[in-house]
A = this chain, B = another copy of it.
Amino acid sequence: MDVPLICYDCGATATLAAGARCDCGEPYWVATDSECFAWPEGGKRSLWRYRDLLPDVDPTGLAAGAGGTPFVRAPRLDGDVGARVHVKFEGSNPTGTFKDRGSAVGVAAAADAGYGTVGTVSHGNMARSMAAHAASAGLDCLVLVPADVPAERLALLARYDPTILRVEGDYGGLYDESLRVGREQRIAFVNSDTPLRVAGQKTTALEIAEGFAPEPPDAVVLPVSSGGHGSAVWKAFRELRDAGLATELPRLYFVQTAACAPIADAWERGDRTVTPIEGGETVAYSIANADPPSGNRVLAAARATGGGVLAVDDEAILDARRTLSADAGLFVESASATALAGARRLAEGDALEGDSDVVLIATGTGFTERDVDAPAVDAARVELGALDDAVSERMG
């Protein structure tokens, strides 16, 4: 490719092969003929692109910026998965996870309904997301966390200045208790599987489907915790079927961490309802929900689409996380890497076919977990004067 260049200062022209800098000493930039340019058609980028399918509320501030995340091919993962791999990168949401989609709709609806305070039960991504959206909208935000949550996680949350309460006692029971207290004290709680959150989060799947239009992909693989996001993805594809925009629903595969896998356990047993368990420690703490409120709904989604629910261990999760950054350029949180780890497991079992399109939903950025599994750094020291040899030795 021959790229034409022009010096902004003296007007000299050249092509890229001549180097980056003009003889006058100033940098070239690319010469562009823009005279006939017009703005492209359409193009709301955020989740509000699908406004016809959303509750009728007006987003203001940060809410207008949720969704519209990158959806990219990851050809170097095809061999791992035995199919064409696409990744929906939810780490590009404003607070780094898919949670912003639900928070955007939930907080906008709360503001619209005249609430002065929103709330949530979370000690991680959802808490941060709700606090950020409330901050932008000028609403107060109450976050209920377990008493033993690590200080580091709270420090990140505190950046957005919510009111934080550490609650001693049964954290599972707190989910329903918060909804009751919210109703009684007029605080709009937007928890992990409440209707407005699910309404916002379904837009992940709408974006995936639009990327594949006219027909959806063959399979979608995503982490599952409370089941709110999984339910949302199912709902989106059902709506598209009703609209005549999907003949067949993609198979939905939900992946849990082996240390805390009540939905996968129920699936394995062929149960239609999830039995709460005692969860163990895992690197994928964001999805370690021992009593998932939408677990049954996820089982229904897996059955209805011909998919499944499975669990992967910490070693497989961390290995998948390393692969996603080193081979796809996507640094994700451990919980998100379960999608690739799960797809690898499915590939072993012939659930995926070579000529099919498989979408992994990478639910959140890895930057919030930069200390987890930090790599050793191999970086030789060289003198500037010896650069030529050092480069040719390593890259030649």
Contact = CB atoms under 8 A, between A and B. Distances in A.
Question: How many chain copies?
Answer: 2
A132 interface: yes
Contact of A326 (B21, B135, B327, B370): B135
Given A9-B296, A40-B44, A135-B326, A165 B68 contact: no
Contact of A20 (B38, B156, B195, B383): B195
Given A231-B27, A326-B135, A366-B159, A391 B142 contact: yes
B92 A94 contact: yes
B73 A20 contact: no
A331 to B, nearest CB: 5
A179 B16 CA distance: 12
Interface stretch (A234-242, A276-284, A310-318, A347-355): A234-242
A388 B136 contact: no
Nearest to A379: B164
A135 B328 contact: yes
How big is chain A's contact interface, by range?
35 or more
Contact of A330 (B16, B62, B243, B380): B62
A259 B167 CA distance: 44
Interface in A61-106: 61-62, 64-66, 68-76, 89, 91-96
Contacts of A41: 41-42
A379 B26 contact: no
A303 interface: no
B133 A329 contact: yes
A271 interface: no
